[in-house]
């Protein structure tokens, strides 16, 4: 991993006249800004289709792309929709926040118009895409069509025959919902067509895309419905146990995520085929894959279901290094970053050493009343990625508003901040000057935003994932400032 610098910026946070960022013109312009800024990494959040709560970490599919990210102006240029049609819908009244309810109500109506017009076009490229991706696309499209027919309720609440995927029910719904099934396939065709163009443009600037892979899939997903044998489920489809985190300093009752846990014994019997296919699929989207909650490969927290909180869970051994050795034999090596935040037990530390994957260091965690900890830069090795903060933390300036005075004083002293150096830039400089090979800074910290720029507050529902950047703040002066810092700290060769 070469010494480099990058920016954490969700695609949904980009400017757009249609209420949410997409992989169109504005994404390319942001990549141009990164190029001018001396950045060679663009880290994004997961790009799968989101469900209730709008979290990119709870997706309807581990393979599918989010229809929200399809660029509507590109569809307009292709003659699938008109500008007048796009302008006739309500996309929300704020340029600084995503209104997901309005996006949901308007976007799918536009995409349905595009689909109806597309049906009159040459279908050869579409049919080829469907054939090449049939292994996951058939299940996903049927799942979404059936789900739509039942007002989007979870598959666990569907009629018993289709819930349990009885063969006669599958064939009946395939016939009944054929047009809607093709609509969901069309959306994936357009997403991947646009993504290929977007990624080629970004890579052409010498910038790598780092994407997130949530370790778990959602209970309400095509993955769980179509592959129940992969998970710890009862015969009726209900979970035996679910994922989460135990009580800690931040939460007295822990975090109850609710994702189904893997049946690692079964996966091992099948040589982890499903998982390896998933990792290969991620490599088609990203240049670098960041595996979220990596520690679960060493040991995972299992919470018996049903549960009101995460108090009564237990740690169970995961597949550990055998998984990654078999992965390299089966599919080769990929560039991977391991999200190893939190309390690291010896088994996690050992797995990190065995894989050699770079872990994460977060500066917001470093200045805890002067206590020595692994997040202080003098404890880093080169083989890590340093962040000022992540999408789950407050912004640096938001942290400044609530942190203890002694922690702030310690941070200023440790980072050797001058009296006139803005706090956010003091932390960015410290990250860049550290020995970590990769330094990633959320766009909100570069802009010096406070709590209004926070992307997510864990264990809360509503008000998350909505932040959007204003186009006029991505100035040449800001790009020059970042580039100068990148060159001075050896993260960019002139």
- Centre a 10 Å sphere on the Cβ of residue 229 and count the other Cβ atoms it contains: 10
State which H helix or E strand residue 484 sits in.
helix 476-488
Token pair in block for residue 34: 């990164």
Residue among 389, 408, 388 at smallest CA distance from 400: 408
In the residue annotation, 339 being an active-site residue is answered as yes
Name the catalytic one among 26, 71, 212, 339. Answer: 339
DSSP string, 212-243: EEESSPPSSSHHHHH-GGGB-B-TTS-BSEEE
- Centre a 10 Å sphere on the Cβ of residue 350 and count the other Cβ atoms it contains: 14
Q: Which 8-state DSSP code applies to residue 378?
A: G
Q: Are strands 255-260 and 241-245 parallel, antiparallel or unpaired?
A: antiparallel
Residue among 218, 241, 251, 343 at smallest CA distance from 301: 241
Q: Which 8-state DSSP code applies to residue 395?
A: P
Q: Which 8-state DSSP code applies to residue 128?
A: H
Token pair in block for residue 245: 């985190």
Name the catalytic one among 32, 392, 409, 421. Answer: 392
d(CA 145, CA 58): 19
Residues 6+ apart with CB under 8 A from 421: 429
d(CA 55, CA 305): 22
Name the catalytic one among 54, 212, 220, 292. Answer: 292
In the residue annotation, 277 being an active-site residue is answered as no
User: Strand pairing partners for 467?
Assistant: 97
State which H helix or E strand residue 289 sits in.
strand 288-292
In the residue annotation, 97 being an active-site residue is answered as no
Token pair in block for residue 468: 């959007």
Which residues are annotated as catalytic?
Answer: 292, 339, 392
């Amino acid at each position: 991993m070469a010494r480099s610098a990058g920016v954490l910026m969700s695609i949904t946070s980009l400017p757009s006249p249609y209420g949410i960022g997409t992989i169109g013109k504005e994404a390319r312009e942001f990549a141009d800004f990164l190029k001018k800024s001396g950045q060679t990494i663009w880290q994004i959040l997961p790009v799968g289709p989101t469900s209730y709560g709008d979290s990119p970490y709870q997706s309807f599919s581990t393979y599918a792309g989010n229809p929200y990210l399809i660029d509507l102006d590109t569809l307009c240029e292709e003659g699938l929709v008109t500008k007048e049609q796009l302008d006739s819908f309500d996309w929300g009244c704020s340029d600084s926040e995503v209104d997901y309810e309005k996006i949901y109500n308007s976007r799918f109506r536009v995409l349905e118009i595009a689909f109806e017009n597309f049906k009159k076009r040459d279908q050869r490229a579409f049919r080829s895409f469907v054939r090449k991706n049939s292994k996951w696309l058939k299940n996903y499209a049927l799942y979404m069509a059936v789900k739509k027919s039942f007002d989007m309720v979870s598959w666990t609440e569907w009629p018993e025959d289709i819930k349990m995927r009885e063969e006669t029910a599958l064939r009946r719904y395939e016939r009944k919902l054929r047009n809607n099934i093709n609509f969901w396939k069309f959306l994936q065709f357009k997403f991947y067509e646009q993504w290929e163009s977007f990624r080629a443009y970004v890579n052409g600037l010498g910038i790598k895309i780092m994407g997130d892979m949530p370790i778990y899939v959602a209970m309400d997903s095509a993955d769980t419905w179509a592959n129940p044998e992969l998970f710890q489920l009862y015969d009726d489809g209900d979970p035996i146990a679910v994922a989460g985190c135990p009580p800690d300093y931040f939460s007295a009752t822990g975090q109850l995520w609710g994702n189904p846990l893997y049946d690692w014994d079964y996966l091992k019997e099948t040589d982890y085929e499903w998982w390896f296919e998933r990792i290969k699929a991620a490599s088609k989207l990203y240049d670098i894959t960041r595996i979220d909650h990596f520690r679960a490969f060493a040991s995972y927290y299992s919470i018996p279901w049903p549960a009101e909180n995460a108090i009564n869970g237990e740690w169970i051994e995961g597949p550990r290094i055998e998984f990654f050795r078999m992965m390299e034999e089966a599919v080769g090596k990929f560039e991977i970053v391991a999200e190893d935040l939190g309390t690291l037990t010896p088994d996690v530390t050992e797995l990190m050493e065995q894989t050699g994957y770079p872990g994460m260091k977060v500066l917001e965690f470093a200045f805890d009343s002067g206590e020595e900890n692994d997040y202080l830069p003098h404890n880093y090795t080169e083989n890590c990625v340093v962040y000022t903060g992540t999408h789950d933390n407050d912004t640096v300036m938001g942290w400044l508003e609530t942190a203890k005075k002694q922690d702030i004083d310690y941070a200023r002293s440790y980072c050797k901040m001058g009296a006139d150096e803005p706090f956010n830039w003091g932390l960015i400089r410290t990250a860049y000057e550290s020995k970590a090979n990769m330094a990633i800074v959320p766009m909100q910290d570069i802009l010096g935003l406070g709590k209004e720029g926070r992307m997510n507050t864990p264990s809360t529902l509503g008000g998350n994932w909505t932040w959007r950047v204003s186009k006029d703040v991505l100035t040449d002066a800001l790009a020059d400032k970042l580039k100068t810092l990148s060159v001075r700290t050896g993260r960019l060769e002139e």
